[in-house]
A and B are shown apart, each in its own frame.
Chain A
Amino acid sequence: SYEVTQPPSVSVSPGQTASITCSGDKLGYKFTSWYQQGPGQSPVLVIYQDSKRPSGIPERFSGSNSGSTATLTISGTQAMDEADYYCQAWDSSTTSYVFGTGTKVTVL
């Protein structure tokens, strides 16, 4: 089965840039989406189809995808951005969606 991996944790200072990676075989050939999940809350879509931002999501969230790595970037990180982040893609070989292992972002 297709696997996508993320670093377990990322730490960032307020106002700085956080980069969260998602790695998988030829992931750059697949569309990747990203979800933010606060403690005890449901996931929220923050980026879809690699780099599109849903309405209501701040411009400081951006995404890219190339080669074997997709990246979610949070520019000017704020305390409210502290949460778990998951990437998601479609595996055509098994016709199944797959989520990344998740990254906990801590704003120090």
Chain B
Amino acid sequence: EVRLLESGGGLVQPGGSLRLSCAASGFTFSSSAMTWVRQAPGKGLEWVSSLTNSGVDTYYADSVKGRFAISRDYSKNTLYLQMNSLRAEDTAVYYCAKSGGLAVEAGGYFDYWGQGSLVTVSS
């Protein structure tokens, strides 16, 4: 059974930093691209960042480029999202999602999702 368990969310002040983790199990971690998607309260889904199965290629939404960094640890089967210079508009539930393939590309889709981790940016 595929499981994705996010952690690391919480309350942080504007300008602060936070690192989200996503512990993966039930599939070959090195064979899937991975993605972070967020959802602000009462709003729709917003793609944040993706990482290929090899970890070599990374992709970011313009709204987080230069502030967020995605990475993965194959020894721990864990995906990370380092979030710096946080803003009020980054407040959202952050979901970790497994991609249906190796790459980040046309035809890509997200076949399993975690339960989400709430990040609140407020003073």
Contacts and interface: CB of A to CB of B under 8 A. Distances in A.
Interface of A: 1, 30-31, 33, 35, 37, 42-45, 48-49, 54, 84, 86, 88, 90, 92, 94-102
B59 A95 contact: yes
Nearest to A30: B106
A42 B115 contact: yes
B45 A48 contact: no
Contacts of A97: 35, 47, 50, 104, 108
B93 to A, nearest CB: 9
Contacts of B62: 1, 94, 96
A94 B45 CA distance: 18
A99 B50 CA distance: 14
Contacts of B114: 42
Given A42-B114, A43-B95, A99 B47 contact: yes
